[in-house]
A and B are shown apart, each in its own frame.
Chain A
Amino acid sequence: MTTAHPTTSVPIWRDVRFLRVATQAVIVLVVAVVVGLGVRNLAEAIDARGLGFGFGFLTRSAGFDISETPIPYTPASSYATAFLAGLLNTLFVSLLGIILATILGVIAGVARLSPNWLVRQVAAGYVELMRNTPLLVQLFILYFAVFLQLPSVANSLAIGNAVFLNQRGVYLPAPQFGPGAGALGLVVLLALAVAIGALVVAGRRAREGNPIPRLGLYGTLAAIALVAIGWVVTGGPVAFDLPELQRFNFVGGMALSPEFTALLVGLVLYTGAFIGEVVRGGIQAVRRGQWEAARALGLSEGQTLRLVVFPQAMRIIVPPLTSQYLNLTKNSSLAIAIGYPDLFKIGQTMTNQTGQPVPVMLLVMGTYLAISLATSLVLNIYNRRVQVLER
C-alpha cells in the first residue's frame, strides 16, 4: 500500500489535523443518527398503536385521591394540579433530605477521621452498611419493619398533649395564624435585624481592636423584648392547634405520614454515608503540612478543622457533593415502593388513568431534568466561589 504513494507527506489516516476533524464529524453523525432513529421509532410506534400524543388531559379532572398534598387538592382537581402536588412532594422530601444528609454526612466524614477508636469504628460501620446495601431494601425495612411497627393509634406515644407518635405518622401542633399575625411577623423580622446588626457591629469593632462591651448581648435582649412587646400589642395572634384522637385517627395539628418519614430517613441515611466518604476524602486530601502549620500557630483541633482544613477541603468536596444531591433527588422516586405520592408515583397513576404513557413520561423526565439542572447550577456557582483564585 505505502509503496503506491512514494511521497514524504504524512498519509491522511495518520494526519492529526484530519483525524481530529474526522472524529468530530463521525461523532456528530452517530449522535444525529441515533437521535433521529429514536424519534422516528417513537413517532412510528405511537402511530401504529393509535396512542394519541398530546397534553390536553392535563386540564381534565384527575378523579384519584392523593394521600398527602402540600397544596389544596381533591379528586375533582385537574391532572395538572395532581402533577404539581407530586412535584412539590418530591421537592419537599429532596430539599429536607439534602439538608439533613449534608449534616449527617459531615458528621460521619469527620467521625471516620476521629482519633477516638470507638467513634471511628461506629462511623465506619454505618458508612459501610449503608453504602453496600440497596436503597430499596433499606426503604422496605424502614417502612415495614420500623415505622409500621410503631404503636397503634390507640396506644400512641405521646409527649405531653401535643406530640403523638404512632404507626400512622407523627402528629405535631400546627400554628394557627389569627388577625395581627402579619404585623407580628414584621416585628419578628425587625427584631432579627436588630440582633444580627448588633452582633455584626460588635464583631467588626472587636476585630478592629475597639470593642463596645456587651453590644451583642444588649442587641439580643432588645430583640427578645421587641418580640414580647409585639406579641402583647397584637394580642397573641398565633394559637396552636393540637392533634386530637377521634374515632379512627388524630385530627388537627400537622401530620407527617410514615411513608414520608420512612422515605426521608432512608434517603438521609443512604446519601449521608456517601457524603461522609466525600467529606473524608476531601479532608484527607488537604496536605499534612496545613494541619501542622495550624497547630504550630496554636490553633485548637476544632479551629484547625474549621478555619484551615475545611475551606481547602471544600474545593474537593463540592463537585462530588453535587452528584450526591442529584442522586438523592432522583432516588426519591423510589417513593413509589412505599406509597409516598411523589412526582414519579403521581406520573405512574396519571399514565394509568389517562392511557397516555408517552406524554406523561416525557413530562416526568423533563421535570426531573429541570430539577437536577437547577441543583447543578446552584452548586456550580457555589463551587466557583470556593475554588482557588489564581493570582
Chain B
Amino acid sequence: MTRSGMPFIVLVVLAMVLAACGDQAPSGNAGASQADESEPAASQADESAAPSEGGEPSGESRLALVQARGNLICGVNGSLPGFSFLDESGEMTGFDADFCRAIAAAVLGDAEAVEYRNLSTDQRGPALQTGEVDVLIRNTTWTVSRDTSWGLFAPTTFYDGQAIMVNSTLTDATTLEDLDGATICVQSGTTTELNLADAFSSAGLSYEPAVFADIDPTYQAYEEERCDAVTSDRSQLVARRTAFANPADHLILEEVLSKEPLGPVAPLGDDQWFNVVKWTVFATIEAEEQGITSENVEETAASSDNPAVQRFLGVTPPDTDPFDSGLGLEPDWVVNVISQVGNYGEIFERNLGAGTPFELERGLNALWTDDGLLYAPPYR
C-alpha cells in the first residue's frame, strides 16, 4: 500500500509545487505573465527572476514594461464592425484598433506591435484592474465609478449617445413612449443597461428586458425577433445594423437616452503611462488641427519652420536639444503615430466615415474649430 502509493504521492506533490509556481506568476505582475506565455520553459526555470523582470508592481511604469516586452497588449471588443473586428485578411481593424496602433507607434515606433485581447463587457473591468491589458480601448463609456475603480480615462475618442433600434416589421414605434411594454434586448455590464432602466422608470413606462452577456447573442436574439427593440450606443447600433440580413427593416430612433463618451482607459495608479495614452489621443487631434496628415507628416517635419509644429513633431532646430515633452518617448514619436496611423480625421474617415458602410457624420466628434468637442491642450 505505502510502497505503491508513494509514486502517486510524489506526483501529487510535484503537481502542487508546479501549480504553486503557476499561481505566483500572473499575480506577480501582468508583464511577467505575458512573458510566461511566450516562453513557458524559461519562466519555469528561473522563477525567482520573474518578479524582478516584471518590476515591482508599484515601482516601475508600464511604459518601461511595454518597451521591454516589445508589444502593447490592447483590450478591444473584437466583435464591433467599425471599432474593432477582424477583417477578411484576419487583421484587427477599426476605430478603436487604430488607437491601439497609435499608442504602439508612440511607445514602440511600430504600429503593428499590438497584441489584441477580445474582452466582453463583463471581462473588461477586471482585465484592466488586474493589469492583464496595458490599455483598454473597447468602446467604453467614461463614468465616475469606472474612473475611480477600473482605471483612468484618457480623453474621449468618440462622443456617442445611447439610442434605441426597433424592428419596424414588428412595431411602428418612433418614440420612447411608443415602446411601453415592449421587450428590449440589452447587453449586461454596460452603462446602456443602467440607462435603459433609468429612462423607462423616469418616463413611467414599463419594458421587459432580455439581457445577454455577449454582444453577438444580443443582436442575434434581436434579429430573431426575441425583442421588439435593442438599445446601445448609436454608433454600435449603426455598425451592427450593417451586418443584419435586412438592414432596412431596422429603425434607429432619434431619441438620445444618455451621453456616452467612449475612450481609452489606462490602469489606475500609473501616471506616466496614463500620460502617454492621453497624449497619444491628443496628438491625433492636434495633428488634424494643424493639418498634418499621414501623407504630409514627413514633409512637414522636414520643411516646417513653425516652432509649434517643430516642437510637436520633435524636429530639432540647429544647435539645440529637442523639446522634451516629459512623456518618456522618443522626440519624434508624433511622426511615428501620424505617419503610421494618421490623424484623428483620417482614423475616423477610414473606419466610420462616408466611405464606409456606416457613413457616420463627424457631429460632436468634429474639431472644436468646426463646432465639435475635440480639443487638444497645447503641446509645449
Contact = CB atoms under 8 A, between A and B. Distances in A.
A159 interface: no
Interface stretch (B18-26, B90-98, B252-260, B306-314): B18-26
A25 to B, nearest CB: 12
B13 A351 contact: no
B213 A345 contact: yes
B121 interface: yes
B211 A65 contact: yes
A351 B125 contact: yes
B368 to A, nearest CB: 32
A167 B188 contact: no
A37 interface: yes
Given A67-B211, A167-B225, A351 B126 contact: yes
Interface in B117-132: 121-122, 124-126, 129-131
Interface in A58-117: 63-67, 74-76
Contacts of A67: 208-211
B180 to A, nearest CB: 7
Interface stretch (B145-153, B271-279, B285-293, B356-364): B145-153
Interface size on A, as a range, is: 35 or more
B153 to A, nearest CB: 13
B372 interface: no
Contacts of B225: 148, 152, 167
B249 to A, nearest CB: 13
Contact of B57 (A48, A75, A144, A251): A48
Contacts of B217: 337-339
B194 interface: yes
A108 B149 CA distance: 52
A65 B196 contact: yes
A65 B2 contact: no
B228 interface: yes
Interface of B: 2, 5-6, 9, 12-13, 16-17, 19-20, 23-24, 27-28, 57-58, 121-122, 124-126, 129-131, 145-146, 149-150, 170-171, 179-183, 188-189, 193-194, 196-198, 201, 208-214, 217, 220-221, 224-226, 228, 267-269
Interface of A: 16, 19-20, 23, 26-27, 30-31, 33-34, 37-38, 41-42, 44-45, 48-52, 63-67, 74-76, 144, 148-149, 152-153, 167-168, 246-249, 251, 257-259, 336-339, 341, 345, 348-349, 351-357
Given A75-B197, A249-B208, 10 more contacts: A20-B2, A30-B13, A31-B16, A44-B27, A51-B129, A65-B193, A65-B211, A75-B198, A246-B181, A355-B149
